């Protein structure tokens, strides 16, 4: 009797194993809420397969292959959860920074082979479906299909009820929308001019009377150095709530002596959008790469120049009019498109790896963080004041290990690389004080965007909300600054450029900044929208909320903010 039962139900084996494998993936990655909807989804698809098997006469091997094809998106999603900590997103398909995580080592193809064998060679012809169950099964499957279709039609699904196949379908709809949008004719000059007129202002920041005492002792016409650390969320730093206590001692020391901004988010991602957006207080639709090979990192240098020369305001262009020279230090080789993208923002000079004869290794490889800091120390005092310097490193990028300083036993690449950048930054801070630069220089420590929440990162750094938008650090220091904490209450990096103008006390001037100064009296309640491409978020002091999981009390503000971003995309649109 037991043998007959096993023979009759052997068709269930690959489905049960797939369910167990999926549940294990979700559980180990802290996504337990995905388990139940996945159970429901697999049951629905299994019932559909049972109906087909019962009422259509097709070879069981072909039928098994069809089942495998149906389940292939589920397997891909599960493997992506192991790799990145969540399902495939439209950003992962669109943006090369994320799409690289789709690549898998050969051993991760083993589950695909196992399930191919199970689905294709299980003797499905032994299974038959009772006609009495037909109506109930049809109702279950149609209910599931209706849920997926409805969710896909409105381009969203509640994050608590995400199942692998339905999420793949919805992601495809959103990705397809982004592709179609990229194929449309570019924004007309009339639309661009209208957007520029809408956002044009005559002041860089508003009333800052609440913080006059804080800014009164800032140096007059100071130099400015901004560290844009690659992918660094705030909770890495011990003083921002990091759990290790000794991971970032130099940044902890700086935090105690600085204006420390808390509950502050990145307004976009990834690096191309993050740097361009912060330096111009704007939202950038185009990123480093996209599916049409038209991203800033995919096109030729001439195309990049033609497509990214800006009419809207940028810090380098504004400060040039105030007598500043502006520079950016990039770790990349001379021909890298990121360098050209920065040049189009108006920097007088973008230093690259080619400018550092002391850099070791392959000429195409980025400077290490130690080499970057050495280059800054060697050259900064040769620059005529006043100057503005932006600096971006590469050593804290996802998957990279530190070639220099290690954290404790050195087993964690994540902890090593952030401990190393802290140590290298500490070396610069020693020089900063010893050379007397702190008397006439404003030093700002921040990031290009939050850390990408891949398992490699979240295994060591607690990340409750696994979005590419997260709280990030912002430390502002000069000699004599009064140590203060400012609660940004969910505000974000759209405000960096006007905040710098506020510190420099340059208030009047035509600009197209979308943000406001963090020292303004009413800034903190109106700049809490985040976006990359067609993904939109709203943040507050506690959390960040994606469009598919909005609390009721934020829907109105979100709708207004999203409309503003869509209109602003016309201002920064590519010709």
Each residue's pLDDT, cut to its tens digit, for the chain (575 residues) gives 444 544 555 667 787 888 888 888 888 877 787 887 888 788 777 777 777 766 666 676 677 777 778 788 888 888 778 766 678 766 556 543 333 434 455 666 787 788 777 777 665 544 455 555 556 656 665 665 665 555 444 444 444 446 788 788 777 777 676 666 555 546 677 887 788 889 999 999 998 888 888 999 999 999 999 999 999 999 999 999 999 999 999 999 999 999 999 999 999 998 999 999 999 999 988 654 444 545 454 444 455 445 555 556 899 989 988 989 999 999 999 888 888 889 888 898 999 999 999 999 888 899 999 999 999 999 998 999 999 999 999 999 999 999 999 999 999 999 999 999 999 999 999 999 999 999 999 999 999 999 999 889 999 999 888 899 999 999 999 999 999 999 999 999 999 999 999 999 999 999 999 999 999 988 765 679 999 988 999 999 999 999 989 999 999 999 999 999 999 988 876 54
Q: What is the pLDDT of residue 396?
A: 98
Q: How many CA atoms lie within 13 A of 314 on its CB side?
A: 24
Helix, strand, coil percent values for the chain (each to nearest 5): 50, 10, 35
Q: What is the pLDDT of residue 254?
A: 98
Q: What's the pTM?
A: 0.75
Domains of the chain plus CATH, in order, are 2-183 (no CATH), 189-541 (3.40.720.10)
Q: What is the pLDDT of residue 53?
A: 67
CA-nearest of 390, 358, 372, 380 to 436 is 380
Rounded to a whole number of angstroms, the CA Rg of the chain reads: 26
CA distance 517 to 317: 18
Kindly give the interhelix angle for 60-84 and 13-28, rounded to the nearest 10 degrees: 10
Q: What is the pLDDT of residue 464?
A: 82
The Cα-based distances of 504 to 216, 230, 440, 498, 513 in angstroms read: 10, 25, 12, 10, 16
| CA–centroid distance for 306 within its chain | 26
Q: What is the pLDDT of residue 441?
A: 98
For 422, list phi and psi in degrees, rounded to 5: -65, -45
């Amino acid at each position: 009797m037991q043998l007959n039962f096993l023979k009759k139900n052997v068709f269930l084996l690959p489905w049960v194993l797939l369910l167990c494998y999926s549940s294990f993936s979700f559980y180990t990655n802290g996504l337990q809420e995905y388990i139940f909807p996945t159970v429901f989804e697999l049951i629905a698809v299994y019932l559909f397969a049972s109906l087909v098997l019962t009422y259509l006469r097709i070879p069981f091997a072909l039928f098994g292959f069809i089942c495998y094809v149906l389940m292939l998106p589920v397997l891909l999603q599960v493997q992506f959860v192991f790799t990145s900590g969540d399902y495939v997103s439209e950003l992962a398909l669109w943006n090369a920074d994320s799409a690289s995580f789709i690549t898998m080592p050969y051993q991760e193809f083993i589950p695909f082979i196992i399930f191919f064998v199970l689905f294709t060679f299980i003797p499905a012809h032994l299974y038959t479906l009772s006609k009495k169950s037909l109506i109930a099964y049809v109702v279950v499957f149609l209910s599931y299909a209706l849920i997926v279709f409805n969710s896909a039609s409105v381009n969203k699904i509640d994050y608590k009820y995400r199942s692998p196949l339905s999420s793949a379908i919805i992601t495809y709809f959103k990705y397809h929308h982004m592709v179609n949008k990229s194929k449309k004719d570019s924004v007309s000059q009339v639309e661009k001019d209208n957007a520029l007129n809408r956002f044009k202002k005559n002041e860089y920041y508003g009333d800052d009377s609440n913080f006059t005492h804080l800014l009164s002792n800032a140096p007059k016409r100071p130099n400015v150095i901004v560290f844009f650390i690659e992918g660094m969320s705030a909770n890495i730093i011990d003083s921002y709530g990091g759990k290790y206590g000794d991971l970032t001692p130099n940044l902890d020391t700086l935090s105690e002596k600085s204006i420390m901004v808390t509950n502050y988010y990145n307004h976009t991602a990834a690096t191309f959008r993050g740097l361009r957006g912060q330096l111009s207080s704007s939202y950038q639709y185009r990123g480093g790469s996209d599916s049409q090979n038209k991203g800033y990192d995919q096109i030729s240098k001439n195309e990049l120049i033609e497509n990214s020369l800006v009419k809207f305001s940028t810090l380098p262009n504004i400060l040039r009019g105030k007598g500043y020279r502006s520079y950016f230090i990039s770790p990349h080789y001379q021909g890298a498109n990121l360098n050209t993208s920065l040049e189009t923002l108006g920097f007088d000079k973008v230093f690259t790896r080619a400018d550092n004869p002391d850099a070791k290794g392959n000429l195409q490889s980025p400077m290490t963080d130690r080499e970057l800091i050495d280059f800054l120390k060697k050259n900064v005092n040769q620059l005529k004041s006043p100057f503005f310097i932006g600096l971006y490193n590469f050593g804290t990028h996802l998957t990279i290990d530190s070639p220099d300083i290690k954290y404790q036993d050195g087993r964690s690449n994540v902890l090593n690389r952030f401990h190393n950048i802290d140590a290298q930054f500490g070396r610069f801070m020693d020089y900063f004080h010893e050379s007397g630069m702190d008397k006439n220089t404003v030093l700002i420590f921040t990031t290009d965007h939050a850390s990408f929440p891949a398992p490699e990162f979240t295994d060591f750094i607690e990340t409750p909300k696994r979005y590419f938008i997260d709280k990030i650090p912002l430390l502002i220091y000069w000699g004599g600054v009064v140590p203060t904490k400012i609660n940004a209450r969910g505000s974000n990096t759209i405000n960096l450029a006007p905040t710098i103008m506020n510190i420099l006390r340059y208030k009047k001037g035509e600009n197209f900044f979308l943000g406001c100064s963090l020292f303004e009296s009413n800034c903190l309640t109106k700049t809490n929208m985040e976006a990359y491409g067609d993904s939109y978020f709203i943040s507050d002091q506690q959390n960040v909320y994606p469009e598919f999981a909005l609390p009721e009390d934020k829907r109105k503000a979100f709708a207004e903010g999203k409309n503003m971003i869509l209109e602003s995309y016309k201002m920064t649109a590519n010709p």
